Structures are given as C-alpha cells and as structure tokens.
Amino acid sequence: MRAARMLERNGTPVLQDVPEFGVPEGTCRIEVLAAGLQNGDLMRAQGRYKVPEVPYTIGGEGVGRLPDGRRVYFGHSIPESGAVCEFTIVPEEEVWPIPDEIDDSTAIALAIAGTGALVPLELARIQPGENVLILGASGPLGQIALQLSRAMGAGRVVGAARGLAALERLKQRGIADDIVQLGQGDDAAALKHASGNGFDVVLDCLYGPPAEAALRATALGARMMSIGIQAGETMTVSLKDLFQRTHFGVGTSHRSVDERRAAYERLLDFARSIPLTVESTVFDLEDVGGAWAALEAGGVAGKIIVRVKK
C-alpha cells in the first residue's frame, strides 16, 4: 500500500510503497478516505511531542471505511500505522461512526479540533450575552469555537489571529462580530479596544505573549481557558491582571476514550442543530509534500486534509 513516510527528523514526508500491517486483536483495519494533519504532527516530526522512531507514517486521524462498508472517524491510530496511507490499523474503541450528512473534512475537523474547542467552552460556562474572545481564531479549532460560543449564548464574539485575510473571511462568514490582527504593535491595546468593557471568556489557543495581552483585556470575573502553545510555552502573569479572574489549562487529548467520544457525540448534536462550518484545504495523497509544506508555513485556511481515495 502507499503511505506518506517521514524518513528523518524535520524532514518532508515522501510517498512510499510499504507492506500492510496485520490486524491485532482489539483493532480494526480501515480503508482510509481522507486524513487530517495538525500542529501535533509537525511537533512529532520535530521531536517535540510523542516522538515515534523514524521512519514512520505521518498522521493519526481521518475518515475511512470498515470492511463491512461503514463510514467512520478514527483517531489515535496505532503509532506504527499512521493515517496518511491507504489502510490503517486503529484500536476498536477509537473508531466512531459518523452520520452521512457530515462530509469527510468536517468530520475530521470536528474531532480533535472540535472537541478541543467544545470542552473548555463548556467548562467556561458562557452566560447569556457575555463577551467572548477566541485567541487563534483562524484555525479549525478557532473557527468551531467562534460558532459554539454563539450557540452557547455569547452576546459578542471576537476572533484574533495573525493572518488578516483569514480573519476577514471569518467576519464575512458572519461567525465573528469583530476581528483583531495580532502582531501589529500593542496587542493588549488592540484587544482592549475590541473588547468594549472587557472579555468575560477567553479561549486561548496560543499562550505566550498573545495570552498575556488577552488577559489584560478581560473583565473582572473573566474565565481564561488556555489550550495551546503555538506562540510560546510560558507566559508572565501579573497578580494585578489575574485579580478576580480565573485562568485554566485545559486539554482533551489525554482524556479517556469514553470522555472524548462523548464530547464528539455532543459536537455532532450541535452540528445537526446549527450549521457548523470549517474551512479546509485539501491535498491529494500524491501531493503530501505540498500539504506538509503548507502545515509548516502556517496561514492555511482551516484544516489541512489529505485526500487518500478519490
């Protein structure tokens, strides 16, 4: 079978023919239709996160078909098998059915990215009319978070990120009331200006200096939920800025499979009642190098999808 293989650290995946894996007890063989790439895949290639031995097949999530024809989402494929390949092996408990009305790209975006937005927003307990900031709004997680915040009762939702074109599309689609382009000078001042009387809830996908700026733009009683480290692994917090506010670190990937599946099913319920839309950029398997280059460069619209079967 064909598979996208990472041959060296910090390399570019190449398409190779490799033998299929056996199907150990408790796992499923899945014919892959499409696979998703995310920052975690890039961090693995750099040796920073859950490092597999090279060479290995990239990716860990996607949509495919079981031998009986059922279409499913899969996450956490066994490390040796990967996801950007024609067939993969996945533990049975990580194989989740998806409804026919949800397309492949959306199903992939709703899983890791979508539940990554849902769980911290549920914990933040958005109250009707509250002012919400999504920090790192242009990616798939941020796009879903903007829409979920509105569905949960937010009165005003603001998206912040570095890429102006992607931000403007969020406003044109009507999922952000206002946008803030980060990195143009005084981020704290720009966020305060957009916040009105201060943000009540911040979903922070970036951490580092942008999170410091966002905290200074919050209202008393604010809840700031940090879930990513794209802009830095540390931040400096003044007690004055934290006074009468709460700052949580929230993750979903290490939760039990039952918790993650329940969150995914809650998200599918949202998708049935409101049209959750996520931008995606699709590459064919033959252009996996282009998909990887786009992941490295950043600034791609939404989720990067590798279409394995046309």
Q: What is the pLDDT of residues 73-110, one digit of tens each?
A: 998 887 778 999 999 999 999 999 999 989 999 999 88
pLDDT at residue 168 in the model: 96
Give residue 310's pLDDT. Answer: 81
How much is the pLDDT for 227?
94
Residues 79 and 56: beta-carbon distance below 8 Å: yes
Q: For residues 60 and 158, give the distance between their C-alpha atoms in angstroms, rounded to a whole number.
A: 31
Mean pLDDT for 34-61 is: 88
| 204 within a domain of the structure (yes/no) | yes
- The whole-number pLDDT of residue 78 equals 79
Residue 151, amino acid? A
Rounded to whole angstroms, how far apart are CA atoms 176 and 134? 9
Q: What is the 3-state secondary structure (H, E, C) of the chain?
A: CEEEEECCCCCCCEEEECCCCCCCCCEEEEEEEEEEECHHHHHHHCCCCCCCCCCEECCCEEEEECCCCCEEEECCCCCCCCCCECEEEEEHHHEEECCCCCCHHHHHHHHHHHHHHHHHHHHHCCCCCCEEEEECCCCHHHHHHHHHHHHCCCCEEEEEECCHHHHHHHHHCCCCCEEEECCCCCHHHHHHHHHCCCEEEEEECCCHHHHHHHHCCEEEEEEEEECCCCCCCCCCCCHHHHCCCEEEECCCCCCCHHHHHHHHHHHHHHHHHCCCCCCEEEEEHHHHHHHHHHHHHCCCCCEEEEECCC
For residues 178 and 222, state if they share a domain.
yes
Answer whether 175's CB lies under 8 Å from 134's CB. no
pLDDT-derived band at 255, boundaries 50, 70, 90: confident
pLDDT band at 24 (very low <50, low <70, confident <90, very high): very high
Check which CATH number belongs to the domain holding 152 and give it. 3.90.180.10
Structural domain containing residue 227: 115-249
Check whether residue 196 and residue 155 sit in a common domain: yes
What was the pLDDT predicted at 67? 96
Q: pLDDT at position 86, please? A: 98
pLDDT value at position 212? 97
% of the chain surpassing 70 pLDDT? 98
Is 226 among the domain residues?
A: yes
Q: Are strands 199-204 and 280-284 parallel, antiparallel or unpaired?
A: unpaired
Q: Is the pLDDT of residue 300 over 80?
A: no
Residue 49: pLDDT over 80: no
Domain assignment present for residue 255? The answer is no
Edge-first strand listing for the sheet containing 156-161? 178-181, 156-161, 131-135, 199-204, 218-226, 246-249
Helix axes 257-273, 115-124, angle to 10 degrees: 90
For the whole model, what pTM was predicted?
A: 0.89
**CA 81/CA 282 separation, integer angstroms:** 22
- pLDDT value, residue 96: 94
Q: How confident is the model at residue 43 (pLDDT cuts 50, 70, 90)?
A: confident
- Greater model confidence, 284 or 239: 284
Note whether 235 and 127 are same-domain residues.
yes
> Position 204: which residue type?
D
Q: Which of 201, 233, 249 is the last residue of a domain?
A: 249
Compute, in degrees rounded to 10, the torsion defined by CA atoms 227, 231, 233, 235: -90
Which of the four pLDDT bands, split at 50, 70 and 90, describes residue 53?
confident
pLDDT at 80: 78
**Per-residue pLDDT, 153:** 97
Tell me, yes or no, whether 222 and 296 share the same domain: no
pLDDT tops 90 at residue 169: yes
**Is there a domain that residue 146 lies in?**
yes
Domains held by the chain: number: 2
pLDDT in the model for residue 269: 87
Average pLDDT of 137-157?
95
Asked if 110 and 144 touch (Cβ cutoff 8 Å), the reply is: yes
Distance separating alpha carbons of residues 195 and 190, to the nearest angstrom: 9
Give the residue-averaged pLDDT of 163-191. Answer: 96
Mean pLDDT of all residues belonging to the chain? 93
205-234 confidence digits (pLDDT tens): 999 999 999 999 999 999 999 998 888 889
Residue 242 sits in the same domain as residue 290: no
